[in-house]
Structure 1
């Protein structure tokens, strides 16, 4: 394992965050805080509690997960797409660095950025509502697994995309709607029985449900199922990335 190569790519990606601090950190935190204020004030005034939890506190895990998903995908997709766009990816591929080390560096940097944003949003939310984290270890596990999984997914998108429009297509038109419909702002038990069953086909439901369970000990889906679905999606992303490097899809042409 070439640790020096991993560190070099990782530090380069993290340094880019410092140069674009407002876009990378400040902007998503402000946007999520506005979600919290608007939804917490507008809907919270009509819904006092959900499953015995104040509405303002109930939506915090969903908001963190919404930001975590979008930031993981966006950071990872841009991180690998830009070297492809400029042609510097060929220098990385020709260097004595294995494909595994490349993935670890790029995905690790993207996941780190997303986790930082998620923790900042968590601290910001604590200023508005009293938070309770019943299972902090599980909370960190879901936080890291989700960030890594969707950073891998973003890595795949960054290789697949051949222009900036495609780079933004999946996060804006797929990930964000799935997060909104995955129980970020409500419990799926509030839906009619038919739509409860339909919602279970949304993979984001399991992520948000497991993450919310780590806070309040209540979930729409069993926490074991949530963890299993997260690991399944992680395995699928790893399999696709293995195929990409094995075939050189959009990397060697």
Structure 2
């Protein structure tokens, strides 16, 4: 039995239309926020710092800021997308529709990943106004961004299924993901840290994401690119397993 393409498309288009209805909140606000980081860290502070690994500080922080936006938006877009049907009660229409969990996942996660990647590319273009940079491995960069967006949209989907209030939707992104990103080498190389803190940093999963994206930009990374890809794929597989279990058991789907 093949996939219900019409069902997937209906979910996907509904989510994409919601984004364009809230364009200022979904796209413009994150781009402006990231631009402020470039102004403060890239221009003001970066002009007073030396190069890191032969890369100017303003260019060095681009992968970290891009990853910060990508993670935050992937999680929030996907979590909000599946939480709203639960909150409004329309989740029952979705569960009774002729779509299985794979098709529901493709619709919601596909739309959330598309929005996150659109935002990532806009931020990348915006950064040109503040910093000059070159991308050594553009294909790897796009592939790694897609992999990261899909993985953390899956993670956000799980958060949306777990949450039973709007406050809980923000707990993990604000109190866990954002701090880990700041401590994961977004604004520095972990090689600049004392040896003990370098070891501690390796337990931060976001280090591997930022390192992988930085390698795609500049060919230099704190962690080997193979390890970064492997960690990301492992987390994706774990998220898929959790989503499959949730739909199989019905746990947390119904309020």
Bin for the TM-score computed over the shorter chain: over 0.9
What does residue range 125-204 of structure 1 map to in structure 2 within 5 Å?
125-204=127-206
Moved over 6 A (4+): none
Rounded to whole Å, the distance in 2 between the matches of 1:168 and 1:72 is 13
Q: For residues 133-162 of structure 1, what are the alpha-carbon distances to aligned partners after superposition, in whole Å with 9 as ceiling and x for unaligned? A: 111111011100000000000000001000
Q: 1:252 to 1:85 in 2, by over 3 A?
A: closer
Rounded to whole Å, the distance in 1 between the matches of 2:129 and 2:50 is 19
Pairwise CA distance, 1:85: 0.1
TM-score (norm 2): 0.98
Pairwise CA distance, 1:127: 1.8
Match 1:218 to one of 220, 223, 239: 220
Rounded to whole Å, the distance in 1 between the matches of 2:173 and 2:14 is 24
Q: For residues 15-45 of structure 1, what are the alpha-carbon distances to aligned partners after superposition, in whole Å with 9 as ceiling and x for unaligned? A: 0001000000000000011011111134313
Pairwise CA distance, 1:46: 3.1
Identify the residue that residue 84 of structure 1 maps to in structure 2.
86
Q: For residues 101-134 of structure 1, what are the alpha-carbon distances to aligned partners after superposition, in whole Å with 9 as ceiling and x for unaligned? A: 0001000000110000000000001122111111
Rounded to whole Å, the distance in 2 between the matches of 1:68 and 1:112 is 11
Q: For residues 153-208 of structure 1, what are the alpha-carbon distances to aligned partners after superposition, in whole Å with 9 as ceiling and x for unaligned? A: 00000010000110111111111111111111100000110000000000000000
1:245 is the counterpart of 2:247: yes
- Number of residues paired by the alignment? 253
Rounded to whole Å, the distance in 1 between the matches of 2:191 and 2:70 is 24
Rounded to whole Å, the distance in 2 between the matches of 1:153 and 1:198 is 24
Rounded to whole Å, the distance in 1 between the matches of 2:37 and 2:128 is 15
Pairwise CA distance, 1:48: 2.0
Rounded to whole Å, the distance in 1 between the matches of 2:239 and 2:48 is 40
**Stretches of structure 1 lacking an aligned partner (at least 5 in a row):** none
1:35 is the counterpart of 2:37: yes
TM-score (norm 1): 0.98
Find the residue that maps to 1:174 and give its secondary structure.
helix
Rounded to whole Å, the distance in 1 between the matches of 2:248 and 2:131 is 49
